[in-house]
Amino acid sequence: MERRTFLKKAGITTAASVAALSVGAPAVIASPKKIRWQATSFWNPKVKIMYDGIKMFCENVKQMSDGQLTIKLYGGGELVPPPGAFDAVSKGTVQMGSGSPYFWAGKSTAFNWFGSVPFGMNAQSVNAWFYEGNGLTLMSELYDQFDLIPRIVGNSGVQMGGWYRKKINSLEDFKGLKMRIGSIAGKVLSKVGVTTVFVPPAEIFPSLERGVVDAAEFVGPVHDILLGLYKVAKYYYTPGWHEPGPVLDIFFNKKAYNDLPPHLQKILDVAAADINIRTLAAFDAQSGVDLNTLLKEHKVNVQVYPDDVMKKLKEISKDVVEEEAAKDPFALKVHQDYKAFQAKIAVWGKMSEKVYWNTMA
């Protein structure tokens, strides 16, 4: 009996001690699960600004999540061929990809409007459409068909019109030209007698040099000077009517994104918006410097398309864009929303930006 009494008292004492320790001890918090993603891009490390922005995005996500989410980035061709980025993410082979929406127009012509269309909106207007209009909602609806979640991560702003080996004085001068140009703009130029040819950026220089093409466009001064296009084409035309506000995209595998805790989803969204601003800023900051180098050091002959040429190209573009939209019900839906927003925002742009820049001339 004495032994039982002793054990009973000891048990009460032990339980009390444990309870006391439990009340006073801090809670033990488990470390958050580490998540490792892979990303493939259309761009390779040699493509300044575009690749740099995606690399910075991955670094920012790691830092903002305190290492909980890490994204290993592979450049175009390292994991899959550049155009294969879309399918690789759609199938879940990797969790993230990047490029530009109109690169995926072979899947649906509606992608063109989220990239750029001839005589469409500029970067400032496009951002307004995505953030304050229906742009992102419509874009998400389209990408969802491929099990993807998209975000915009930059814009080059209005591009240059391209490099030509001869002057363009009239619409007739386009006839018989072979030009490196893609997207809907290629269909516009085909209406005036241009044979459009698509070659990767690395092959633009040799194609111009050997006469495979007579003209070519890529982006603008930042990349054109790197490619050395001023060495093989005499005339540099402006403006880039064909791509006035080309968007860069990033997209996540839908399941991978939805499996993330809400705070990591928000980090991805915020990091994308940050890179969207920084990419356009980088193009604005560097394009003027590189254009000045082309003009002063390389004596590039910059030409402005004649007014009558621009007027006619705009008329043809309107018809071609309408034809393209009519091919697909969703593309038509996007086109109508895009067109309405462009008309609405143009009222302010013509009164503010246009007037201001004209006074600076």
pLDDT tens-digit series, residues 6-55: 444 444 444 444 444 444 545 555 668 999 999 999 999 989 999 999 99
CATH number for position 133: 3.40.190.170
Whether residue 282 is contained in a domain is answered as yes
Calculate mean pLDDT across residues 76-102.
Answer: 96
* Assigned domain for 336 exists: no
In a domain, 64, yes or no: yes
273 belongs to a structural domain: yes
Q: Distance (Å, rounded) from C-alpha 126 to C-alpha 157?
A: 10
Residue 217 belongs to a domain: no
Q: How far apart are CA 82 and CA 96, in angstroms?
A: 13
Can you state the percent helix, strand and coil of the chain, rounding each to 5?
55, 15, 30
At 202 the pLDDT is 82
Nearest to 226 by CA among 87, 6, 33, 49: 49
pLDDT in tens, 327-338: 999 999 999 999
Question: Range of 140's domain?
Answer: 35-155+245-286
pTM: 0.88
Tokens 């304050």 correspond to what residue? 132
Is 90 part of any domain?
yes
Amino acid 158: pLDDT: 96
Residue 275 lies in a domain: yes
* Helix axes 329-351 and 135-144, enclosed angle (nearest 10): 160
Quote the CA–CA distance of 276 and 184 in Å, as a whole number. 24
How many domains is the chain built from?
Answer: 1
Going across the sheet that includes 247-253, the strands are 69-74, 35-41, 96-99, 247-253, 148-155
Q: Does some domain include residue 55?
A: yes
Strand partners, 277: none
Query: Which stretch of 7-11, 129-133, 202-206 has the lowest confidence by average pLDDT?
Result: 7-11
